[in-house]
A and B are shown apart, each in its own frame.
Chain A
Amino acid sequence: MTAHTLRLRLGLGLRLGLGLGLRLGLGLRLGLGLRLGLGLCLGLWLCASAGWVFAQSSTEDITQYRDMLSDSNPAELYIAAGEDKWNTPAGPKKTNLKYCDLGLGAGKLEGAAAQLPRYFKDTDRVQDLESRLMTCLSQLQGISEQSIIDAPFGEGPKKDLNEIVAYVVSRSKGAIIKVSTQHPKEQAIYALGKKAFYTQAGPYDFSCASCHSQDAKRIRLQELPNLTSPAGAAQAWGSWPAYRVSNGEFWTMQHRLNDCLRQQHWPYPVYGSDLTIALSMFMAVNANEGLYQAPGLKR
């Protein structure tokens, strides 16, 4: 009999009420029960737990799992590498990125990511962090934007960009999300993003809204943030980019959106394209006044 079964049999009340003493007691009993087969465990489990009790405790257990992971986010490795990349001359022009303007002025990083996407006069378009960094890499270092767009995720120039993104967003950790809708182009792309969010297409009739327009829903065990609500949008927008434990990779929002659209069974979104920026703008504006906590740690 496993600790798992025992804890389930004892139910929620005990889980909340009894402390270490009980746990130790159970620990002692484990040794005696080790040879019991899976069949018995399963039997006990079935007869002992009503569906709702189990549902509730599995959510609780997932919280425990995430809490245990929250310390020492491997994204720190990417932040450190990104800081190097920011300060080290690179590319055909052999320059560093200290003059990159992310909206608050050349080289100003503090809080910059929490105010993106925004309109940039030099490019005359609204840009998210990744597309703006591509502008910097191209203008300052002479690295071709197309080479970044064409690279597979996590490889070559996209891997370099990931690290830079990790560094830049770490300098906004704890900032309040403040995305402007003053400029007409900012308003226009928000409206396009909203329309895209509700657009159903493809063989499964999916839109972003199919999964992300209600509170407290989940796919498998994974909660789905309601991106139409300020709280849900802030929770999602404010915790990406993130390190994903399922594949041990650092994902930027561009990567996150790419995989959303894949699972939506849509065609392939071009990296840094207006559709991806429009969807980001919809999320980010809805998240306004929320807390920017990236880089996060995700399943």
Chain B
Amino acid sequence: MRIRAQENKGRVDVKILIRHDMESGLRKSQNGNLVPAWYIHTLKVEAQGTEVFNAQFGPAVSRDPFVNFRYQGAKGDKLIVTWMDTQNDSRRDEVIVS
């Protein structure tokens, strides 16, 4: 995951890029078989322990997903970004707002 979180005048701009194939279940591999669906369904962001953003995805979110949102916060806020996918994989990353 690549997380950029920058504060400016009390507003924190958060950009998140995630490495994930986001397989829709509709794509065929080179041998002609359907590649099974496998995509991130939930992405949530907590700031200082409080949830500020929650995204739910279907299979139509692009490969290597990108989201950008903003919340009222401060430099030094600890952000915890967590995602979960349809194979029950998940990942959690932390970043300090700069």
* Complex interface: stretch among B36-44, B63-71, B80-88: B63-71
Quick one: given A72-B17, A72-B68, are A248 and B2 in contact (CB under 8 Å)? Answer: no
The chain A residue sitting closest to B19, CB to CB, is A77
What's the nearest-Cβ distance from chain A to residue B22, in Å? 8
By size class, the interface of chain B is 10 to 19
Q: Is the pair B17, A248 in contact by a Cβ cutoff of 8 Å?
A: no
B94 located at the interface, meaning its Cβ lies under 8 Å from any Cβ of chain A in the complex: no
B11 located at the interface, meaning its Cβ lies under 8 Å from any Cβ of chain A in the complex: no
Per-position binary interface string of chain A over residues 28-42, scored 1 when its CB falls under 8 Å from any chain B CB and 0 otherwise: 000000000000000
Per-position binary interface string of chain A over residues 58-92, scored 1 when its CB falls under 8 Å from any chain B CB and 0 otherwise: 00000000000001101011001100000000000
Per-position binary interface string of chain B over residues 1-44, scored 1 when its CB falls under 8 Å from any chain A CB and 0 otherwise: 01010000000000101110100000000000000000000000
Q: Is the pair A74, B17 in contact by a Cβ cutoff of 8 Å?
A: yes
Give the CA-CA distance A86 to B66 in the complex, in Å: 25
B98 located at the interface, meaning its Cβ lies under 8 Å from any Cβ of chain A in the complex: no
Give the CA-CA distance A81 to B4 in the complex, in Å: 16
Give the CA-CA distance A73 to B64 in the complex, in Å: 10
B48 located at the interface, meaning its Cβ lies under 8 Å from any Cβ of chain A in the complex: no
Q: Is the pair A72, B63 in contact by a Cβ cutoff of 8 Å?
A: no
Give the CA-CA distance A245 to B62 in the complex, in Å: 9
Q: Is the pair B17, A77 in contact by a Cβ cutoff of 8 Å?
A: yes
Q: Interface size of A by Cβ–Cβ distance < 8 Å?
A: 10
Chain A residues within an 8 Å CB radius of B18: 77
Chain B residues within an 8 Å CB radius of A81: 19
Give the total number of A-B pairs whose CB atoms are below 8 A apart.
27
Give the CA-CA distance A245 to B68 in the complex, in Å: 18
The chain A residue sitting closest to B1, CB to CB, is A77
The chain A residue sitting closest to B21, CB to CB, is A248
Per-position binary interface string of chain A over residues 156-196, scored 1 when its CB falls under 8 Å from any chain B CB and 0 otherwise: 00000000000000000000000000000000000000000
* Option from B4, B15, B63, B68 in Cβ contact (under 8 Å) with A248: B63
* Option from B17, B62, B63 in Cβ contact (under 8 Å) with A76: B17
What's the nearest-Cβ distance from chain A to residue B64, in Å? 4
Per-position binary interface string of chain A over residues 217-257, scored 1 when its CB falls under 8 Å from any chain B CB and 0 otherwise: 00000000000000000000000000101001000000000
Q: Is the pair B2, A76 in contact by a Cβ cutoff of 8 Å?
A: yes
Chain A residues within an 8 Å CB radius of B17: 72, 74, 76-77
Q: A residues engaging B (CB < 8 A)?
A: 71-72, 74, 76-77, 80-81, 243, 245, 248
Sampled A-B contacts (9; CB under 8 Å): A71-B15, A71-B68, A74-B19, A74-B66, A76-B2, A77-B17, A77-B19, A243-B64, A248-B62
Given A74-B19, A74-B64, A248-B64, 18 more pairs with CB closer than 8 A: A71-B15, A71-B68, A72-B2, A72-B4, A72-B15, A72-B17, A72-B68, A74-B17, A76-B17, A77-B17, A77-B18, A77-B19, A77-B64, A80-B2, A81-B19, A245-B62, A248-B21, A248-B63
